[in-house]
Each structure stands twice: as structure tokens, then as C-alpha cells.
């Protein structure tokens, strides 16, 4: 260390500290996941709070998910249209679009939209609760913060995503068909026939499971980021904004990694 | 700092429009050092996340495309030609944009909203310190080129991820899979244009949300709105550009 001089050494030390922070952070996130799982398995997740949060998440996210679904449908349709014109693949267009809408592209982009709407709001709310010492107040009242704050939020995001999935997936598929019909002359009947003939029901379940996993990641990462202000005692606006930011980044990373794992070990469709 | 009354949407739009107009007007007063610092923040700060996102999404897409091609027609040879096109035209700009909306959009909105509610922007304006030129414009000038740089890096990572995934799954020779000639010059122009537009969208989303903040409680909401508006704007612009490309 001394051979490279104090400046380089300082950089190396700060790099070591960054790595240590990353591992500490990963450990804390896994511990939080364990606490949430424990609260859910032991039936300690506050049901009324969960229902209220599901309602809030649905009210908040419905428009974002619907607008997102329309735009994602446009992307799926236009992508399929490219192959349609290059390979004259009218017979398999519906199947390919359904696979994208239900499993591959739809849940992934929908999860990004949910992370943007529900995740960031969740992080901001929890960070505000932590910064204003409401979590301490819950502890003082003898309540378990994991049972009344953390677990209900994670479960609520998962339930809201599962409820939004059928309509969103259908909208994505229909918009893709409309784009292909209007811009590429693809027959709606041929697309529908392709879906009913080639698409296996397992594709729908796989898409649903993927979205549930993405939603669990969003709920867990954003709640964890918000709760990070709990012991820190920093109630500034910048700290709350920072928690939202950290929650977004964590969610995004988790989503893309889990998507790769699910795709790799999932069926070919 | 006393809480200010909430601003109606029309007034917010006027504020944002006014800020954007001021941004153009004060462009010549922007310190280059601040732009470089922002560019550094956008590119280096988002690099790991963009590489991870483009790599993971690319590997998943290549793997699925390869498996479906084998299942349907028993031939994977055309995947190498289609895969870089999919990355250049669609997924790399989009993944870069979504990462920037989540990371830079959220961070910048939180920072700007804090300045607004703390009264720092007003104080700077009072002392003729040009807050728009010094605090807002550098990010406006840094985001589009930063987004282009990240988009190009994402394309490289996307291709490498595809090569690795196809080799690991089906033992496809990397040299057989690698087809850079499939990407034409107009496609590269589309990549650069999309990335620059998405960078601008992220900036507009973050600024619009941040300038609406009136009290400390609004900072979290501004951050949330910045990500939502940025994400949806990028998706919308993507569809519009794709349609224009198809029609042209």
C-alpha cells in the first residue's frame, strides 16, 4: 500500500469499504426477507393493513399498469411486425406475441412500471414513517414492525401485481394484435387462431409466477430501503429521496437477475 | 420554512414550461465543469446497473429465442442475425432508459425537489447566481449524451451476453453467432436518436416532478413521480419512434 502512495491507498481503502457495504447490504436484505417470510408463515402479517395496502396499490397502479400495458403492447406488436414482414410468419405471429405478452416481455416491463409507481411510493412512505419515528412508536406500543409494516407491504405488492396481471397481459396482447393488423395487415382471426393453437396454459402460469416474484422483489427492496432510515436518525428530505432512489436501484437489479434465472430454467414455451 | 399551498396542474405546467424556456435562455451561462461532473455522474454512476440489466435481459432473450427456434424449426442459425438488431433497435435503448429513469431520474428529482423546498433555488436567484444555469441545465445537457454512451455500451454487453448464453446453452460457436453486419447505419442512427430522446424524457420527467414540490413531504412524491413520468414517457417515445421507423 505504501508503494503506491497515500492517494491510491485511500482509493483502495474506500473500495474495500464499498465492497464491505455491498455485502453488509446484501446480508441485511436477506435478513429482512427472512423476517417477512417468518411473519407470513406464522400468520402474523396484519390482514387488515394488507387489504388496505392492496387497495391503495391497485388504485395507484391501475392507470400506470394500463397505460404501460398499452405502450408495451405497441412495442410487442411492432417487434413482431418486423419478423412478420421479413419471414412472412403470419401463422406464428399470435403465438410469438402471446409468449412475449404473457411471459417474456410483458411481466418484465410491467414489473418496471410497478417498480416506478408502487415501489417508489412504498419506499417513500416507509422512509417517512421511519424518519418521523413512527416505527419507534409502534415498537413502544408493543407491536412488531415486521408484522404491521414490512410483511403487509410485501404481500400487498404481490397481490396487487397478481390482480393486475390478467388484464394487463390481455391488453398487451390485444394492442399488439391491433398494431399488427393496422400497420402490417395481419388478420386478427389468424392471430387469435395462432394463440389458441400453439400457446400452452403453462405459459400463463409461468408469466404469473414471474410477475409475483418481481413484485416480491419490489416490495421487499423498497420496504428495506425505506426502513434503512430507521436506525440512522436522518429525517431530512434528501435522506427520504435517497431511500426511494436506493429502493428503485435494488428493485431493478433484482428484477433483471430473477428474470434471467426464470428464463434460463423455465420452459421454452 | 413554512409549507406552501399545493400547485394546480396548469400552474405546474406553466412553471415547467417557464423553467424549460429559462433553461434554453441560460444555456450560454452553463459552466462546462458542472456539465462534465453531471456526465460523470450519469455514465459512471449508472454503468454497473446498465451492464447488469442489458446483460441479464440479453442473455434471457438469446436463450429463449434459441430454444424456441430449435423447438419450432430445428435451426438456430438465423438468431445470430436477428439478435443484434433486436438489441440495437429495441431493447438496449429501452433498458438504458428505464435504468436512467429509475436511477438518475429519481436521484435528480430528489436533489432538485430538496433545493426547491429548502428555498435554495429562490436564494440563488435572489443573489443572481443563475440557479437554472448552474443547477438544472448541466443535467439537461448531460443526460442525452450520457444516455447515448450508455446505450452503445449496452449494445456491446447485449451482444456478449447473447454469445455467452448461446454457447452455454447450445454450444453455438461465438464466431458463427457474431454478425455485426446485420446492424445497418440507419439502425445505429435510430439507436443514437432513441437514446438521446430517452435521456431528454428522463430529464423532463424529473424536472417536472421536482418543481412541483412545495414542502418536505413532497420530496418523496416528486421522486416517485419522476420515475413514473420518465418511464412512461420513454415507453411512449419508443412506440412513436418505432411506428415512424416502420412507416418510413
State pLDDT tens for residues A155-187: 999 999 999 999 999 999 999 999 999 988 888
Cell of B18: 417557464
**Cβ contact, residue pair A113, B232, below 8 Å:** yes
Cell of B121: 433555488
Is the CB of residue A232 less than 8 Å from the CB of residue A127? no
List the helix and strand counts (H, then E) for chain B: 11, 0
Crossing angle between the packed helical segments B185-211 and B137-170, to the nearest 10 degrees: 130
pLDDT at A254: 93
- Count the alpha carbons within 13 Å of A48 in the hemisphere toward its beta carbon: 0
Q: What is the mean pLDDT of residues B3-7?
A: 49
Residues of chain A positioned with their CB less than 8 A from the CB of B227:
115-116, 120, 248
* d(C-alpha A69, C-alpha B243), whole Å: 17
pLDDT at A89: 78
Q: What residues contact B228, with CB distance under 8 A and at least 6 apart?
A: A64, A116, A117, A120, B205
Q: What is the ipTM of this complex?
A: 0.81
Band of pLDDT at residue A269, cut at 50, 70 and 90? low
Residues of chain A positioned with their CB less than 8 A from the CB of B110:
237-238, 240-242, 244-245
Residues of chain B positioned with their CB less than 8 A from the CB of A124:
220-221, 223-224
pLDDT at B11: 59
A104 or B4: which leads in pLDDT? A104
Mean pLDDT of chain A: 85
Cell of A112: 418496471
pLDDT at B83: 92
Give pTM, 2 decimals: 0.84
pLDDT at A87: 78
Q: What is the mean pLDDT of residues A200-229?
A: 92
Given the C-alpha cell 483502495, which residue does it identify? A12
pLDDT at B185: 93
Band of pLDDT at residue B1, cut at 50, 70 and 90? very low
Taking only the tens place, the pLDDT of each residue in B40-84 is 999 998 999 999 999 999 999 999 888 888 887 888 888 888 899
In angstroms, what separates the C-alpha of A43 from chain B's closest C-alpha?
Answer: 31
**Cβ contact, residue pair B106, A238, below 8 Å:** no
Cell of B35: 456539465
Taking only the tens place, the pLDDT of each residue in B90-132 is 999 999 999 999 889 988 998 898 888 888 888 888 887 788 8
pLDDT at B208: 92
Instruction: List, as one string, the DSSP characters of chain A.
Output: -GGGHHHHHHHHHHHHHHHHHHHHHHHHHHHHHHHHHHHHHTT-S-HHHHHHHHHHHHHHHHHHHHHHHHHHHHHHHHHHHHHHHHH--HHHHHHHHHHIIIIISHHHHHHHHHIIIIIHHHHHHHHHHHHTTHHHHHHHTT--HIIIIIHHHHHHHHHHHHHHHHHHHHHHHHHHHHHHHHHH---HHHHHHHHHHH--HHHHHHHHHHHHHHHHHHHHHHHHHHHTTTTT----HHHHHHHHHHHHHHHHHHHHHHHHHHHHHS---
**Cβ contact, residue pair B53, A238, below 8 Å:** no
Mean pLDDT of chain B: 86
Taking only the tens place, the pLDDT of each residue in B133-191 is 888 889 999 999 999 999 999 999 999 999 999 999 988 899 888 888 989 999 999 99
**Cβ contact, residue pair B223, A127, below 8 Å:** no
Q: Give alpha helix (H) positions in B87-184.
A: 92-100, 106-118, 120-126, 131, 137-170, 174-177
Taking only the tens place, the pLDDT of each residue in B219-246 is 778 888 898 999 999 999 999 999 998 8
Please report, for chain A, the start and end positions of each structural domain, with discontinuous segments joined by +. 43-265
Amino acid at each position: 500500500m505504501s508503494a503506491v502512495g497515500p492517494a491510491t491507498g485511500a482509493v483502495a481503502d474506500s473500495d474495500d469499504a464499498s465492497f464491505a457495504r455491498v455485502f453488509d447490504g446484501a446480508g441485511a436484505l436477506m435478513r429482512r426477507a427472512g423476517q417477512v417470510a417468518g411473519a407470513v408463515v406464522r400468520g402474523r402479517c396484519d390482514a387488515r393493513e394488507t387489504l388496505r395496502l392492496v387497495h391503495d396499490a391497485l388504485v395507484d397502479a391501475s392507470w400506470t399498469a394500463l397505460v404501460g400495458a398499452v405502450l408495451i403492447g405497441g412495442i410487442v406488436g411492432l417487434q413482431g411486425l418486423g419478423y412478420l414482414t421479413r419471414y412472412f410468419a403470419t401463422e406464428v405471429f399470435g403465438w410469438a406475441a402471446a409468449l412475449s405478452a404473457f411471459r417474456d416481455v410483458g411481466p418484465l416491463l410491467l414489473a418496471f412500471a410497478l417498480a416506478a409507481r408502487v415501489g417508489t411510493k412504498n419506499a417513500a412512505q416507509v422512509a417517512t414513517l421511519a424518519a418521523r419515528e413512527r416505527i419507534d412508536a409502534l415498537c413502544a406500543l408493543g407491536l412488531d414492525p415486521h408484522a404491521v409494516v414490512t410483511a403487509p407491504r410485501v404481500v400487498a405488492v404481490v397481490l396487487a401485481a397478481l390482480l393486475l396481471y390478467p388484464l394487463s397481459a390481455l391488453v398487451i396482447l390485444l394492442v399488439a394484435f391491433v398494431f399488427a393488423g393496422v400497420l402490417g395487415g395481419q388478420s386478427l382471426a389468424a392471430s387469435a387462431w395462432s394463440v389458441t393453437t400453439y400457446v400452452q396454459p403453462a405459459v400463463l402460469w409461468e408469466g404469473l409466477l414471474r410477475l409475483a416474484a418481481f413484485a416480491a422483489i419490489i416490495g421487499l427492496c423498497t420496504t428495506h430501503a425505506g426502513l434503512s432510515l430507521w436506525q440512522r436518525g436522518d429525517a431530512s428530505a434528501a435522506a427520504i429521496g435517497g431511500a426511494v432512489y436506493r429502493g428503485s436501484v435494488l428493485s431493478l437489479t433484482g428484477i433483471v437477475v430473477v428474470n434471467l434465472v426464470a428464463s434460463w430454467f423455465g420452459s421454452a414455451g | 420554512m413554512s409549507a406552501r399551498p399545493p400547485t394546480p396542474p396548469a400552474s405546474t405546467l406553466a412553471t415547467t414550461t417557464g423553467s424549460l424556456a429559462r433553461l434554453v435562455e441560460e444555456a450560454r451561462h452553463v459552466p462546462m465543469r458542472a456539465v462534465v461532473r453531471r456526465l460523470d455522474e450519469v455514465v459512471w454512476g449508472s454503468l454497473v446497473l446498465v451492464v447488469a440489466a442489458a446483460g441479464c435481459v440479453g442473455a434471457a432473450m438469446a436463450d429463449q429465442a434459441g430454444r424456441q427456434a430449435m423447438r419450432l424449426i430445428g435451426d438456430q442459425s438465423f438468431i445470430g442475425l436477428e439478435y443484434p438488431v433486436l438489441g440495437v433497435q429495441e431493447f438496449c435503448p429501452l433498458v438504458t432508459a428505464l435504468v436512467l429513469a429509475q436511477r438518475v431520474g429519481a436521484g435528480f428529482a430528489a436533489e432538485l425537489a430538496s433545493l426547491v423546498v429548502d428555498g435554495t433555488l429562490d436564494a440563488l436567484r435572489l443573489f443572481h447566481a443563475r440557479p437554472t444555469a448552474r443547477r438544472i441545465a448541466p443535467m439537461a445537457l448531460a443526460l442525452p449524451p450520457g444516455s447515448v454512451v450508455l446505450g452503445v455500451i449496452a449494445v456491446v454487453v447485449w451482444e456478449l451476453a447473447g454469445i455467452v448464453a448461446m454457447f452455454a446453452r447450445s454450444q453455438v460457436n461465438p464466431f458463427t453467432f457474431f454478425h455485426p453486419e446485420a446492424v445497418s447505419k440507419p439502425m445505429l442512427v435510430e439507436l443514437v436518436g432513441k437514446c438521446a430522446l430517452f435521456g431528454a424524457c428522463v430529464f423532463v420527467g424529473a424536472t417536472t416532478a421536482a418543481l412541483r414540490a412545495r414542502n418536505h413531504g413532497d420530496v418523496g412524491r416528486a421522486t416517485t413521480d419522476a420515475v413514473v413520468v420518465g418511464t412512461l414517457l420513454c415507453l411512449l417515445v419508443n412506440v412513436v419512434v418505432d411506428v415512424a421507423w416502420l412507416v418510413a
